[in-house]
Amino acid sequence: MTIRWKPVVAGVVLAGLVGGIGYAVQQKLTPPTAPPAAGAPPGPGGPGGAGRSAVVAVQAGTVAREDVPIWFDGIGTIQAFNTVTVRARVDGELQRVSLQEGQLVKAGDLLATIDSRALQAQLAQAEAKKAQDEALLANARRDLERNMNLKEFASRQTVDTQRALVAQYEAQIRADEAAIEAVRVQLNYTTVTAPISGRIGLRNVDQGNVVRASDQNGIATITQIQPIAVLFTLPEKQLPTVLAAQAQGPVKVEVQDREGRRVLDTGSLAVVDNLIDSGTGTIRLKAQMPNDPQKLWPGQFVNVRLLSAIRRDATTVPSTVVQRGPQGTYAYVIKDDLTVEQRPIKVARQEENKAIIDEGLTPGERVVVDGQYRLQPGSKIRIVDPIASAPAPVPGAAPAPQEERRRDRQQREGRQPS
């Protein structure tokens, strides 16, 4: 019987191709094995199945001893140090407006002029009345002198009546002088000047309008922005520390932008409010800022930091060193043989980039800063340098050589490339 080899060979080749494609599809669809979570029991042979002898790449840091400022953070609002609404104090036509919107003025600068002709007429009338009363007084004094010279020929009643008339005219002259002074004061109000130094806002009245002393809006508003104030709140539990710091001297306060990235100005604490808001459990505080140059503006929302104290010779580590587990906070300490020890620690204060340690660590010890999720007590480690942040890749462009090396290293360590 003759065997046909060609169909047999073709079938074998086809079966091999189908099997290879199926295996490739299975490997493609199978998800990669994720590394165990921090604190989870290791799988067979240790983390990642590599056994305790597997070397884990980590980043290391050193426990430091330094003076650490203790800041209290709050949210505040910028407020003008003084705000004055410039109003007319006499009635009349606004003849001239010398101010400009947004202008910086000094105390005493001319802002506006009001028609003063009516008041000048009142002043002339008051002065004429005084001159009339002065003439009457002079005549009354002469009559009194003549009566005094008559001696026994003038009755006592006549002399007393004349003396009373002289006193009456003297009192009338004093009233005339007061009336003249009152009109002069009113005349001074026709020249409107700046009561404080500051910046003028939007003008409310234009030239040619009639202004009255009873107007509520006023001509314009002046706000004093150098210095300037910031109002902010802190939790009531921080009040004793703030009062203790204030008793030691001026308390430093920093104002930052809304993102908390840039310091806009530095000043000092001015006032602590005399009551606590029972609804929010906070206390209001007011700080004074020089605002030179003018980076702060009334009504602006800012982040505020108050320096409550400086902790001397504190034991510090980067914040990423601190780990949390069922038993509390701990850190991985690097031994001389490049193995790690899981050591419980007591954290006094932790901020965004730094943590103050009360117990558990000694300055000079090396600790794991990054890579703790693959560690367990006794793990062998390899210290690597931090990966420098690279700029975002351009869509469609080839990855940079540094990015390729980073991905290769992550794949060798068993991590999914980011």
pLDDT tens digit sequence for 164-203: 998 999 999 999 999 999 999 999 999 999 999 999 999 9
Give the pLDDT score at 346.
94
Query: Which residues does 250 contact at the CB level (< 8 Å), separation at least 6?
Result: 268, 269
Give the pLDDT score at 27.
53
Give the pLDDT score at 175.
95
Give the pLDDT score at 147.
78
Domains of the chain are 47-67+314-387+400-412 (2.40.420.20), 71-81+224-311 (2.40.30.170), 88-115+193-218 (2.40.50.100), 116-189 (1.10.287)
- The band of 23, judged by pLDDT with boundaries at 50, 70 and 90, is low
Give the pLDDT score at 53.
54
Query: Which residues does 344 contact at the CB level (< 8 Å), separation at least 6?
Result: 327, 328, 329, 330, 360
Dump pLDDT digits (tens) for 146-163.
877 777 667 788 888 888
Q: Is the pLDDT of residue 403 over 90?
A: no
When comparing pLDDT for 19 and 53, which is higher? Answer: 19
Q: Which of 67-81, 133-147, 150-164 shows the lowest per-residue confidence on average (mean pLDDT)?
A: 150-164
- Name the pTM for this structure: 0.64
Q: Cα–Cα distance between 135 and 141 in angstroms, integer?
A: 10
329, β-bridge pairs: 324
- What is the average pLDDT across 396-404? 47
Q: Is the pLDDT of residue 255 over 90?
A: yes
- What is the average pLDDT across 323-334? 92
Query: Which residues does 385 contact at the CB level (< 8 Å), separation at least 6?
Result: 59
Query: DSSP assignment, residue 76?
Result: E
Residue position matching structure tokens 């558990």:
360
- The band of 222, judged by pLDDT with boundaries at 50, 70 and 90, is very high
